[in-house]
Structure formats: C-alpha cells, structure tokens
Amino acid sequence: MKHVKELKSHADRVKEATEFVHTRDLSQATYRLGYHLMAPSGWMNDPNGLIYFNNQYHAFYQHHPYDPTHGPMHWGHAISDDLVHWNHLPIALAPGDRCDQSGCFSGSAVDDNGVLTLLYTGHNVINRERDTFYQNQNVARSIDGIHFEKSSQNPVIPSQPEGMQHHFRDPKVWKENGSWKMVVGSTEDERGQVLLYQSDQLETWSYEGVLAKHNGGNEGYMWECPDFFPLGDEHVLLLSPQGIQTEGDRYQNHHQTGYFVGQYKKNQFERGPFKELDYGHDFYAVQTFLDGKNRRIAIGWMDMWESPMPSQKEGWAGAFTLPRELLLKNGHLYMKPVDELVALRETEIKLPSRNIANSWSLPLQGQKIELVLAINLSQTNAKGFGLKLAQAEDGSEETVLFFNAETKTVTLDRSRAGEGVTGKRTAPISWNDQLHIQLFLDRSSIEVFLNDGETVLTSRIYPRETSRGTELFTFNGDVQLEDSVGYVLKTVIA
C-alpha cells in the first residue's frame, strides 16, 4: 500500500518558517541597517496589518523566509512599545491552505472586540508560465496577539465582482458608524480602481460599489495597497498604482505611491488629482494606522520592484521606512518623522551659523547619522548648493543632495552611491526665506524630509563601510547656514 504524504498544518508551517528564518547569522552583513525594521533574514516587502493594539505597535510584513527573493508570501510580525525598538515575534501567517495556496498577500489588521484580527489576500496560481491566478480575501484571528488561526469560513470574499480582471488584492479595513468597511485594489478594462465593501462581523461582506477609479488619464492599470481615511475635514485615498508612465521628472520609479484628497459621503469619494507622496527611488506600498495619540502614522516599503538589491547576496532584502506622521495642509500631505525617533540620538554635534563658499566638511562622519539643518535663503546667493553624504575620502563614492535655486528643485543623485544603484530623482520644493532639512542616513538608506515634511525623498544606497564623510558645498555663490545640529545615531535593530 502506498503511503499518502500528510499535509502540514498551518501551525506546523508557521513553526518551520519561524525556525528557519532565525538560522542565518547576518551579524557581519555589510548593508544591514541599524535602526530600520527588517526581517531577521530572507525577503521582506509590503507593510501589512499596522496597528496600535493593547498599547503596543504591531507591524506585519510580506515575507519569504526561505530565500532573499520574492516567493510564496508569509506574514512576518514584529512588535514595539515606542516605534523605535522592535522585537520579532513568530511568523503570523504561512500559505498553503485551500484559500491561499500560493501566498498570503497584503492586508490589514483590526481590533475586533479585543481579538487581533488580520484580513489578507489569498493568492492562488493556476498556471505560473501563463501568469494566471485568482485572488480572494481571508480572515485570521489571534487571542494572544501572537499565534493566528485562519477562519473556517475563508475565503470571506471568494472573488471580485463579475466582469473585473483577476487583480483583486490588499484589503484595508476600518470601522465606520458601527460597521466594518473595506477597500480592495482592483482592475477593470486595464484600469486601476478601488472597490468598497461593508460587513457587520468580518466573515460576511456586501459589495458597495467602486469607491474611486481611473479617470482615463495616466493613472495606471492596477491600484495596489489602497488605504482610505479621514484627515482633518477631508478624506485621503493612498494607493500604489502600477503602470503609470513617466512624465519628465515625475513617475520615474517602476511603480508609484501617491494619494488623492477629496470628500467622502454615502460611499462616494469625490477626489482631486493624483499626487506623489515620496519622490525617492525606493518607496512603495505605504500603509497607515491611528495610534494611541490619535496620530495618523505611515510606514512604507523602503525598496522598489526591479531595483538593485545588493543585500540579497548577504541573505536578506527589504526594509521599512522610518515611521512618519501624516498631516494634511491645503490639500497636500506632509510626512514628518515621528517624535519618538529622538531616542536614536547618541552624540550631538552642534553646527554653528556660518557663511559657506565652495565647500565645508562637516565635523560629523559616519553612516548612521541624522542632520537637522537650516539654510537662510534670504542671505544665500548661490545658484545651487547641496550635501555629499557617505562620501569616500578619495571622492569615489558619495550620495549627493543638490538644491537648484534657479529651478527651485531638489535632486537626490545616486550616480556614485555605491554598489549596484544609480539614477537621479528630482522634486519641486518651496523656496521661501528658510529651507529646513532633516535627513537620516542608515548604512544603506537615506530619508530626506524638507520643510517639515512637505517634500520627502527615500532611497537605498550601498556604499562601502569606509565611505563616511559629510560635506556641504555651494555652486556659484555662498550659502548661509543657520544654527544647525547633527547626531550620531544608535544601532537598535539586530
């Protein structure tokens, strides 16, 4: 008699993946970040299930524990008391059940009467060579906030509405007037849209129609990772469109992340134009949540599809951005680093006011630093100025941030930023009496926040460990630096 191979339970698959991901020693990895959340090893992409639950921050993420490349998606899980120090918990979800044969794709988390509940997309491949698949929406619950059991009623939404294409993923769920609401990314006629659902108890959903859709212009064929929430007197729809075509300096990445602002009434969203949220090379799949201080906090995937990832040869890939508070001003989303990040500061180096012509090597070296600079533009006559970061002594490596006074733009230049990466990203900026610059460098990443988060650029870089210099330079004139400060930052992530 032939023996039938016993299928592993979800608990067994979770245990096996959790044990495997901790077998690799990445302590000597060159590009490992010092204060950004990463998986212990393997592949990491979209933030999932961001939630403030029982006075702690939970962050889940798309995760392939067995290889540093994209594969059958699991949900990794980490927890924090302060958004700075993170501890890894066991993997939350593993694929392989009837509802998610090929992957547990992105989704969200809610507090359902004290039960931490995940809603996620089941990915099911029919024919890999022909790229045929179907997607559905599912539920998993945890009593202890650590171990999750998938609902026996999965899939709770088995398919997309009739006539729509097979892209149907990334549920974001919230409570509104006593009922659950869900938005899901979708495609119809090769055009992106967001669908709206409603439920009383998370297992049974009714389709309420299209919340927002492609306007016929350059808005992409699929709207991934939708997130919908009120901010001030308006509503914001965040999303990551696939297929937007490049327009000059705009939309330079393989896929984009941005937002619409508008009014939401009776399941209808009247929205304005699409706006980019972050202008760097590596920012995607942003998700938000409300914390105990009623802040709307956003975290994104700090990488981009089809970008070079030199860390893969070290056994890992992918990281989260720093947490950012979202503020809406005059229809524009600002992203500011959360206040808790001051806990990273280890050594303070004051940078007194001075006039700079040509260049000045800052008395701050390293690859884990924060700079908070103020440039007095009313007393600056240079046609351009900027910063060189992670700079080699011989100038062979440097990441350049350049401010052009004539075009009133900022450019992040990775042409010599280290292994594998290249390319420039340019964004418009406000040019008033003072320019405020706050930036974080963390070994293989840079995040730039200008004018209190009005313009943000996030990119991965891969310099040698010896490239540690920081320089302020000018072009055709002088720059007036006001009282500023730099910090050497701690390593808090293993």
Q: Is 100 a catalytic residue?
A: no
**Per-position b or e across 367-395, b if 16+ CB within 10 A of its CB:** bbbbbebbbebeebebebbbbbbbbbeee
Question: DSSP state, 281?
Answer: S
**Beta strands at 275-276 and 258-265: parallel, antiparallel or unpaired:** antiparallel
In whole angstroms, give the CA distance from residue 204 to residue 207.
10
Question: DSSP state, 28?
Answer: T
Instruction: Report DSSP letters for 118-129, one per residue.
Output: EEEEEEEEEETT
Q: Which of 12, 46, 81, 278 is catalytic?
A: 46
Q: Under the phi-then-psi rule, with left for phi > 0, alpha for psi from -120 to 50, and beta for the rest, what region is 178?
A: left
In whole angstroms, give the CA distance from residue 410 to residue 425.
8
Give the DSSP H or E segment for 16.
helix 10-21
Tokens read off for 393 = 């002594």
Q: How many Cα atoms sit within 13 Å of 325 on the Cβ side?
A: 15
Whole-angstrom CA distances from 116 to 52, 112, 113, 364, 441 are 10, 6, 8, 44, 34
In whole angstroms, give the CA distance from residue 108 to residue 79.
15
Tokens read off for 433 = 């009496």
Catalytic residues: 46
